[in-house]
Amino acid sequence: MTEWSIDRAVTELLDRETARRDGGRITTEWPELDLATAYEVQDALVRRKVGAGENVVGVKLGLTSRAKQERMGIDSPLTAWLTDAMVLPAGEPVPLGELIHPRVEPEIVFVLGERLRGPGVTAATALAAVRSVHAGFEVIDSRYRDFSFALPDVVADNASSARFVVGAKGLAPSALDLGLEACLLGVDGKVVASATGAAVQGHPAEALALAANALGRRGVALEPGWIVLTGGLTDAVFVERGQEVTADFTSLGSLSVTGR
């Protein structure tokens, strides 16, 4: 068996994604995979995607809400990369045939108007850099069996990233109270979960500041025009063929996706 390395982990994770195959945790075979190395795997994985023609269009946070942390059994938020190949235009179905075992989660999404570079970014300075706030969905698709992973595994796997939807309606941050912005998550017309923006680190702007500071420590700035997914507000739901998942927000409008 070849020794584990950053390169081998990237190849394994990308092979699983391409073949629509899940597999065991990398940390089972490579217990020395620590968080810093896992972020190196994540960066190298995204460099391979960029080398294949994808473009980085933003970042996402994961595990920012208690609902997500409790479900995944991990209490540390994380960051990961978004590329243009992950964009699912609003109204398009979730392409089940291209994915392994997708789940959908509602998110509050920022589009940046100004550059943000940590460390030292506060929620207030973070929010001042936001051009518009949107409702969104993230379609996550872990390359690990049963979405079972330790923190370094999921970080290496670019935090289960697969697709994301950004709602067309964009509001200035000053136009709404993001901590109180409520979201009802529905499946086939039945509400299955609910949360307000406060579920995300107390306020989604705290999540944005967290991303700016974490990436700043790695020498990366968040650029104007970048999309930032602030993390699942509620637990994610599986989406089956023909099933409709809806997110109804107080001010940000409604979104729906159907599995196909």
Q: Which of 58, 118, 152, 231 binds ligand 0L1 (CB under 6 A)?
A: 231
Q: Which of 17, 138, 181, 206 binds Mg ion (CB under 5 A)?
A: 138
Contact between 72 and ligand 0L1 by CB under 6 A: the answer reads: yes
Q: Which backbone phi and psi does 89 adopt, to 5 degrees?
A: -60, 140
What is the three-class DSSP state of 243? coil
Contact between 153 and Mg ion by CB under 5 A: the answer reads: no
Contact between 200 and ligand 0L1 by CB under 6 A: the answer reads: no
* Residue 161, beta-bridge partner list: 140
CA-to-CA dists, residue 191 to 108, 194, 242, 252, angstroms? 18, 8, 17, 18
CA-to-CA dists, residue 92 to 14, 31, 76, 88, angstroms? 24, 40, 32, 6
CA distance 118 to 216: 4
Q: Which of 68, 134, 163, 203 binds ligand 0L1 (CB under 6 A)?
A: 68
CA nearest 99: which of 61, 66, 143, 59? 143
79-118: which residues touch ligand 0L1 (CB under 6 A)?
A: 105
Contact between 232 and ligand 0L1 by CB under 6 A: the answer reads: yes
Q: Contact letters (x/-) for ligand 0L1, 138-177, by CB under 6 A?
A: x-x-x----x------x----xx-----------------
CA-to-CA dists, residue 123 to 66, 83, 184, 211, angstroms? 19, 25, 25, 11
Closer CB to Mg ion, 107 or 248, in the complex: 107
Contact positions vs ligand 0L1 (CB under 6 A): 62-63, 68, 72, 105, 138, 140, 142, 147, 154, 159-160, 231-232
Contact positions vs Mg ion (CB under 5 A): 138, 232
